[in-house]
Amino acid sequence: MLFNSIDFAIFLPIVFILYWIVFPKKIRNQNILILIASYFFYGLWDWRFLFLILASTLVDFFVGIYIDRNSDNAKRKKLWLWCSVIFNLSLLGFFKYYNFFIDSFIDMFQLFGYSIKSTWTLRIILPVGISFYTFQTMSYSLDIYYKRLKPTRNFLNFATFVSFFPQLVAGPIERASNLLKQIENKRVFNYDQIVSGLKLILWGLFKKLVIADALAPIVDDIFANYASYPGSTLILGVTLFSFQVYGDFSGYTDIAIGTAKLFGVELMSNFKFPNFSRNVAEYWQRWHISLSTWFRHYIYIPLGGSRVSKLISIRNITIVFLVSGFWHGANWTFIFWGAFHAVAFIPVFLLGRNSIYKNSVVAQNTVLPSIKEFFQVLLTFGIVTFSRIFFRSESITDSFKFIKQICTNFAFEPYTHPMGYRMIDYYVLVIIFVIYEYMIRKDERNPFKFKSKIVRFIIYTLVIFLMLLFYDDGVNRSFIYFQF
Amino acid sequence: MKKLIIKIGLYFFLLLLCLEVLVRVFHLAKDAPTRYVDDYQVEKWRPNQSGYSVTGNRRQNFSEFHINKFGFNSYREFKATKENFEVALVGDSFIEGFHQNYYNSIGKKIENRIDTISVYEYGYAGYDMADQLHLISQYKDQFKYIDIVVLGLKYENDLFRDKYEVEKSRMSLESPFNRALKHCKLLVYTKSIGALKPITDFVANLKNFRKEKNRNVSPKEVDLDKEVETRIDNLNSLINLYGFNKAKFCFLLDETNTPPKFLDYLKEKNYKYIGIGEKLKESRKNTTLIYDMHWNNNGRSIVADEIVDYIKNENIQLVK
């Protein structure tokens, strides 16, 4: 069930009404309702994969308890942790990476002149959201291992935490310390929280339906036919893809956070206007925050983080970015994408500028950014956008051919929309979107933060009006990050 | 909760109101002329209506229409005379041409190419051969002065009936309820861009829940020969009922979409036709609208050229 589908538009109010009107008093009943709703929500994609979620839930529920029971026995504790890690990574490995490894193995042999027929590759469907919920359950066991968390003895609460439908299929990847605690405690009906949730849902839908979906046909066309387009069009394609993927994923996240708010649950922020980052380090503090912090807490810091020699730190950074790339998909393009970001991040780290923008935003106390900030933002956006060539291309060969085409065939030609629509509409749309995001850049949880009720109402109207203007019933409405 | 429900209801109502205003201000939704059945049982538009036809989102195609005194979209009134050379184009929405400015229609394009003739366009969305031949037979006093009559024939959705009857499903669009819905421009716009399709599909799926189970049953194979024979039978029945002047009448059809057997039959029985399929396909530029299968300006020019060629090849004296 997609957030932007009619099914969800019917499902959500029903669950909401049952939650607050039929079962408002007992947490247990509310959690049962959420659990059933979540399994129903996920089961509409493919009910068979519900067993995977259930298996992952069972394993980490008991592993958590056993790690805690053996807290004095380091060896046993570690053993139980490995049970969780191996189980979850095996799920991921089988469903997501099995064919990749087999194909890469065959390619490697072919490189040396041996021809192997691929008889081991399997026709496996990737279960939606597997990368997200396996990481979430793993983080639970890891937190208990590192004594940051006490395990829950209530299976219902834990199962609800793992399968909580607003964030089940594409995050934010929650930590038990945040989400499980809220699930264990009584939620109270809070009018302001619900209104804030509805606003986020509206803004998320705008980003998905207007920005991502409107740009998708253009991006698809340019990347599919890159060999026949001049450099200027390819730059346009990858730039628009940057906005598309941002609109798509951050739109999804806003709807997820907004939906959770409707049930009295606060999820962590996943995006903080990454397009206004002043260096690559800041970008990673603002883009897919729940995954970045996951890697930081469970890979980078255990490896020594930055409290080791510069060389080891560089190694750690490289590992984290490579793993992050690999997490996104079983394709060399993602590994290159990760490697590219590592290369872009390391100079920032060596100059000691990786956390200088941690607590500030561009033009913190002014209306407009300084010239220096403006060019910093532009450069960072350029670097990140360039990396998207790897992210979006079908293969690594395509990525390099795409780059070569930009360099060797750089000519300016006006681009025509594949369906014949006016391109100016899309340019104006993107510019308005950037300006608006800049205006609200200080608070990602409140996209309509204007004092005047009338101004707010005008913006709601315009947002919905733009949804109607850019609605295209021929577009594939699925979310990009569902494939991960 | 009460406050929430009241506020959501209020905001919902106000938003709908504002969106309706915006859709009207930017003229995003098409105007809907009214239709009626005249004294001769011919279905057409009520005379003397004007408005704008809009196709696609963001007004991808915006054109003015004008219903003349006779009830068809045309820049001119139909006054066929013995003295002048007149051509009638009879057909469905492709001839009706709500997707073009009424002063830039196929007929006007033909007139621009041959300035001594007048072209009358009897186009009406949904017209099939039964509608067309019935119209001609009912207005034979007018058609007797017309020198060439071009009849649109779309094989894929034509010749399903062997006699004319008023199409009730089309006329039901004029019910007070449907007329009232058409006054809500927001609804008209959202429907036209397909934004309501998920809702209608959802409702239809619910209704057909039982039928869905039997969906996998493979459909019966269609006997193409038999189908062509049925269509020919229907054509003959219509011609017997309403008449057909082979000297004046000719069909306008897409020969690439029409079964060869049907075309052979037309040739064998000396029915004339203008084939436009090849020329439309040969065109480098797109021949249809972005959001709609109707001909765009380029498509209409190609069709007009083909009709002009036909008129010229007929060796008729174009000036009387």
pLDDT in tens, A388-407: 999 999 889 999 999 999 99
pLDDT tens per residue, range A353-382: 888 888 888 888 898 999 999 999 999 999
Distance CA B168, CA A365 (A): 68
Residue-wise pLDDT for B181-200, tens only, equals 888 999 999 988 888 888 88
Q: Which of helix, strand or coil describes residue B65? A: strand
Q: Are A96 and A129 in contact (CB under 8 A)?
A: no
**pLDDT confidence tier of residue B24, bands split at 50, 70 and 90:** very high
C-beta of residue B135 within 8 angstroms of C-beta of residue B122 = yes
Q: Which residues of A touch B202 (CB under 8 A)?
A: 6-7, 10
- Higher pLDDT pick, B225 / B211: B225
**Minimum Cα–Cα distance from A195: chain B residue:** B4
Q: Give A 199-218 residues with CB within 8 A of chain B.
A: none
Q: Are A447 and A200 in contact (CB under 8 A)?
A: yes
CA distances from A169 to A59, A63, A250, A289, A420 (A): 19, 23, 14, 16, 34
Query: What is the pLDDT of chain A when averaged over all its residues?
Result: 90
Q: Which residue of B has its CA nearest to A4?
A: B198
Q: Which of B55, B60, B117, B59 is nearest to B304 (CA)?
A: B117
B15, B189, B201 member nearest A464 (Cβ): B15
> Is A223's pLDDT higher than 90?
yes
Q: Give the model's pLDDT for residue A102.
A: 76
Token couple for B73: 């979209």
Least confident of A127-141, B207-221, B279-293: B207-221
Counted across chains A and B, CB pairs separated by less than 8 A come out at 60
Enumerate the residues of chain A whose CB falls inside 8 A of the CB of residue B195.
Answer: 468, 471, 473
Q: B282 and B305 in contact (C-beta within 8 Å)?
A: no
> Measured between alpha carbons, how far is residue B262 from residues A134, B213, B231 in Å?
63, 37, 8
- Of A246-250, A419-423, B206-210, which gets the smallest average pLDDT? B206-210
Q: For residue B198, which residues of chain A lie inside 8 Å, CB to CB?
A: 5-6
| A454-468: average pLDDT | 94
Residue A119 has a pLDDT of: 66
* Residue A101 pLDDT: 74
Q: How many degrees, rounded to 5, is the angle at CA B117 between CA B269 and CA B274?
A: 30
pLDDT of B32: 87
pLDDT at B213 over 60: no
Give me the percent of chain A exceeding a pLDDT of 90.
Answer: 66
Average pLDDT over residues B85-90: 92
Nearest neighbour of A419 by CB, restricted to B19, B22, B290: B290
Chain A's closest residue to B23, CA to CA, is: A465
Q: Is the pLDDT of residue B216 over 60?
A: no
**What pLDDT, on the 0 to 100 scale, is given for residue B194?**
86
A457 touches chain B (CB under 8 A): yes
pLDDT computed for residue B301 by the predictor: 94
The enclosing H or E element of A248 equals helix A231-262
In CATH, what is the architecture of B35-168+222-313? 3-Layer(aba) Sandwich (3.40)
What are the tokens at A193? 């929280």
| Of A20, A457, A471, Cβ closest to residue B193 | A471
Q: Please report the sign of the dihedral spanned by the C-alpha atoms of residue A126, residue A132, residue A136, residue A139.
A: positive
Kindly report, residue by residue over A89-136, the tens digit of the pLDDT. 998 888 877 777 777 777 777 777 776 666 666 667 778 888 899 999
**Given the residues A288, A297, A328, A341, the one annotated as active site:** A328
pLDDT greater than 70 at residue B127: yes
What is the reported pLDDT for B316? 66
Query: Does A411 score more than 90 pLDDT?
Result: no
The two structure tokens encoding residue A427: 């340019």
Nearest CA in chain A to B60: A421
B197/A473 Cβ within 8 A: yes
The bridge status of strand B49-55 relative to strand B61-67 is antiparallel
pLDDT for A476 beyond 80: no
Alpha-carbon gap, residue B10 to B16, rounded angstroms = 10
Please give the structure tokens belonging to residue B33: 């002329």
State the pairing for strand pair B49-55/B43-45: unpaired
Query: CA A218, A224, A230, A235 torsion: positive or negative?
Result: positive
**DSSP-based three-state secondary structure for B29:** coil
Indicate the SS3 state at residue B85.
Answer: strand
The dihedral built from the CA positions of residue B49, B52, B56 and B57, taken in this order, carries a sign that is: negative
pLDDT band of B320, cuts 50, 70, 90: low
pLDDT of residue B217: 54
Rounded distance between C-alpha atoms, residue A211 and residue A214, angstroms: 6
User: Are the beta carbons of A473 and B195 separated by less than 8 Å?
Assistant: yes
Rounded to an integer, what is the distance from CA B128 to the centroid of its chain?
Answer: 9
pLDDT at A263 over 90: yes
Q: What is the mean pLDDT of residues A321-339?
A: 90
Give yes or no for residue A431 having a pLDDT over 60: yes
Q: Which helix (H) or strand (E) holds A379?
A: helix A371-392
pTM exceeding the 0.90 threshold for the entire prediction: no
- Is A461 an 8 Å CB contact of chain B? yes
Residue A170: partners with Cβ closer than 8 Å, 6 or more residues away:
A129, A132, A249, A252, A253, A256, A479, A481, A482, A484
What average pLDDT does chain B have?
Answer: 89
Residue with tokens 């729940």: A290
Q: Is the pLDDT of residue A478 over 80?
A: no
Q: Which residues contact A404 (CB under 8 A, 6 or more apart)?
A: none
Confidence of residue B204 (pLDDT cuts 50, 70, 90): confident
A341 is catalytic: no
Measured CB to CB, residues of chain B less than 8 Å from chain A are 1, 3-4, 7-8, 11, 14-15, 18-19, 22-23, 28, 57-58, 60, 189-190, 193-195, 197-199, 201-202, 286, 290
